[in-house]
Structure 1
Amino acid sequence: MRLLLLNGVYGAPEHFDSLREALAPEIETKVFPLRREGLPDPDSGTGFAPLVERLDREIAAFTGPLAAGPTALLGFSLGGALALEYALAHPGRLAALVLVNAFARYEGGALQVASSQMLHGMPPAWAHPSLAARLVHRLDWVKRGLFHREAPLETIEQGMRAAVREVKHEDVRFQLAHLGLPFPVGHERRLAALAESTPVLLVASRDDMVVPSRHTDRLAAAMPAAKRLPLFEGGHAFFQHDAQRLGSAVRSFLAESVR
């Protein structure tokens, strides 16, 4: 079984390390970073299409020429929106879809505020990740909303340093440009049909301050056939602290859904 992991805004491959360990060895994983890499900013005409095309090539390379075994996508945050766009553009190609704190782009919620010009002009990471990590660790409500109330300072600092190393300013501008794209007509009807034909697992965390759980509420309402798990404890990137429970849930879902 192969599972391609799609990250979100400020996402670095290392952010999935704990989850990949929790899924191994039964599930082979690879990370698809959401980077610009020469692509133009999206507009209402192109939407997610250029990223979907790049993702299609990545899936083909990950699967290999013999196409041995099924391939599924796990989309986190903005990566969840991309995973949905891919599944809608290529119906029947995926074995399953897992959405973790996924951004429902037609929600008009908190993340679209992040596309403001102020954030577009910010650097992609903090100038002093160690200092920023200590600040987040001391502010319980921020730590709880971004990571987990029990996340140690080391975990928070590792995540921030990974973003500094991996994410460029242009990548963040490119990522944020996808947040305000218009909602295509008929999207919810197509989502309902998708969940009827492809197994979908919806995961949200209780204290997420980046993509509140109402995004997952909207996705669940649009996809009645999808399976939704009870809320996980923690914030947006809760699995960076402890991915064992999420890893177990994903393994069980894929084992039950993919034959």
Structure 2
Amino acid sequence: MSVASRGSGGSARPSALRADHRWRPYRFPSALTVSLRVWPDRAASAADYGFRLPISRRADDVEHCTWQIEGMASNTEKYLLSNGTDDRVSLFHDGRVKVWSPSHLWEIVESGRHNALGQSVRIAVGRTLQVKGPTAAREKLHFTASTDSALGDAEAATIAGDNGTFVVFHHDGSVTVGNDGRDIEETVNTGREGLAGTESGRGGSVMVFFAGTYRPRTIRSSDYQVNIPENRRRGRGQHPDEHEIREGKIGRPRRPVS
């Protein structure tokens, strides 16, 4: 991506990043190198071009400046888990955990400290959506738990990460997400029910963020173990047509997306 600027005064905004000739924030991929051509009578900085992500300067030859932009982890960098239904759990490489479904919302029914260092939250099936999202053409699953509703809330399977994060599928469809060495920083429980936009985004989801970087030496016993490198920034995006369900929320309430 090459951007040209001919200003000598205030901030310049790159026309190459304008989707409809109006300035708007640009969502970068996981990593991007941007070359900027500037006039030698002015000093250029990343802020002049509207970049709002962490940036490290790589080269400077007066007329050409190149920055390496460190973006968020791609949503494809994850482990995808299932309990045998349309519900899914995404264990992202950046440390986030997302419990989601195309057919219903979720309820946070229990949270607290399960050991001296860690916290967990239990997420149960909520209201069924009138218009469900699609269930076909799903991504490949890394692990599928076998559940039996007759066994109630008993544990069906445990998935453990080497960063202390774990996911427990229960036979009643609920999911427990926790970390054996960290507190929960925030939960974001959202629903997307409207007919605006594409149907692929409809459904309910709960994103769980953990605080800190502590990684326990001993990983809990599990049915499936994964490696979570946490080598990129964690995303916190939210679709404009999502509404947040604040009952049971952990962390500060978020401002509505306009």
Common topology (TM > 0.5): no
More helix per residue: 1 or 2? 1
Structure index of larger Rg: 2
Greater fraction strand: 2
| Bigger relative contact order (CA 8 A; separation at least 6) | 1
Superposition TM-score tier, normalisation by shorter sequence: under 0.3
Q: Give the TM-score of the pair, scaled to structure 1.
A: 0.25
